Amino acid sequence: MDSNKELLSVGELASKCGVTVRTLQYYDTQGLLKPSKYSEGGRRMYSLKDVVCLQQILFLKSLGFSLEEIRDQLLPTDSSEQLIKVFIRQKDIINQQIQHMQLNMKTLEQVIEELSHNQNIDIKRLIAVIGSTQQNNPYTFMVRHMDENQMDYYIEQANGDKKFHEFNELLKELTNELIELYKKKSDPKELRMQSLAKRWWNIILEITNGDQHQIQKIFNVGSNEKLWPEDSVELKEAMNLLGYALNVYFEKQNIDISSYMKE
């Protein structure tokens, strides 16, 4: 890449790239953007390579990086191959930001959906809904059916960010496995389904502290198809399969589940 065909003065570079001359002078003194040459009169002269370097600086600055951090992030641009690497990295960073924005959009849509079911939502429930949607919990809709004690317990768990995140990741992992087995039309009695049923039961015991009333609430909400969102048909049907697997598991373990199913 011939970077010496055309040179720009500091004023020309500032005008073309939308920055001030003072900014370019500052970048020079900080060692971020040194001019390729100086004119006979001592004026700074910038090459194509310097333009790309400035583009990197402005791009990283727009992402919130400090100048110190930017100094360590700058890539060389002496060849076309290196230039390609610069823009590939920037493309990857933008893709990551797009994914993050899409996740934020999904979170907002879920919060709006939950709020639409309860116009007089209280602050505890709002905190629980936001916490659940941020973790991409597929069972966020259940928050609106929690009683006061369940809400207090849920928020208490959410305050332990690491533990709460790990719990939600486990929940998503089990849900994905359940849907996979559902698609394969697995038998509720088979080994993998029984292993999954055991893990689900352990989660229920964990989040309810084994409290019979709390377990009953979960079963009541989970078994009431009218409470499930319209876009969760596949998950709802997969949960029916899990219900059969749990019944088999309870029978094998001599667990009397009948008391949990009462209103």
Q: Where are the domains of the chain?
A: 8-77, 79-159, 161-263
Element (H, E) at 9: strand 8-9
pLDDT band at 227; cut points 50, 70, 90: low
- 116-120, 194-198, 209-213: the lowest-pLDDT one: 116-120
Handedness of CA 59, 61, 64, 68 (dihedral sign): positive
pTM confidence score: 0.46
Nearest Cα neighbor of 125 from 105, 104, 154, 168 is 154
Nearest Cα neighbor of 178 from 88, 249, 243, 258 is 243
Determine the pLDDT at residue 20: 92
Average pLDDT over residues 191-215: 85
Q: Is the model's pLDDT at 186 over the cut of 90?
A: yes
pLDDT band at 1; cut points 50, 70, 90: very low
CB-based burial label for 9 (10 Å; 0-12, 13-18, 19+): middle
Backbone torsions φ then ψ of 236, nearest 5 degrees: -60, -45
End-to-end CA distance of the chain: 76
Percent of the chain with pLDDT over 70: 67
Q: Is the model's pLDDT at 82 over the cut of 70?
A: yes
- Class in CATH terms, 8-77: mainly alpha
> What is the DSSP-derived secondary structure letter of residue 119?
T
Higher confidence at residue 117 or residue 257? Answer: 257
- Tell me the CB-side half-sphere exposure of residue 116, using CA atoms within 13 A: 7
State how far the Cα of 213 lies from the Cα of 80, in Å rounded to an integer: 67
Whether the Cβ atoms of residue 133 and residue 103 lie closer than 8 Å to each other: no
Determine the pLDDT at residue 232: 67
Backbone torsions φ then ψ of 89, nearest 5 degrees: -65, -40
Percent of the chain with pLDDT over 90: 22
Higher confidence at residue 261 or residue 60? Answer: 60
Determine the pLDDT at residue 97: 79
Order of all β-strands in the sheet with 44-46: 8-9, 44-46, 37-38
Q: Which residues fall within 8 angstroms of residue 125, CB to CB, at 6 or more apart?
A: 118, 143, 144, 146, 151
* Average pLDDT score, the chain: 77
Q: Is the model's pLDDT at 176 over the cut of 80?
A: yes
Count of other CB atoms within 10 angstroms of residue 113: 16
Strands 44-46 and 37-38: antiparallel
pLDDT band at 164; cut points 50, 70, 90: low
Whether the Cβ atoms of residue 245 and residue 193 lie closer than 8 Å to each other: yes
Higher confidence at residue 5 or residue 223? Answer: 223
Distances (CA, A) of 248 to 179, 238, 239, 245, 257: 19, 16, 14, 5, 11
Q: Is 209 left (phi over 0), alpha (psi -120 to 50) or beta?
A: left
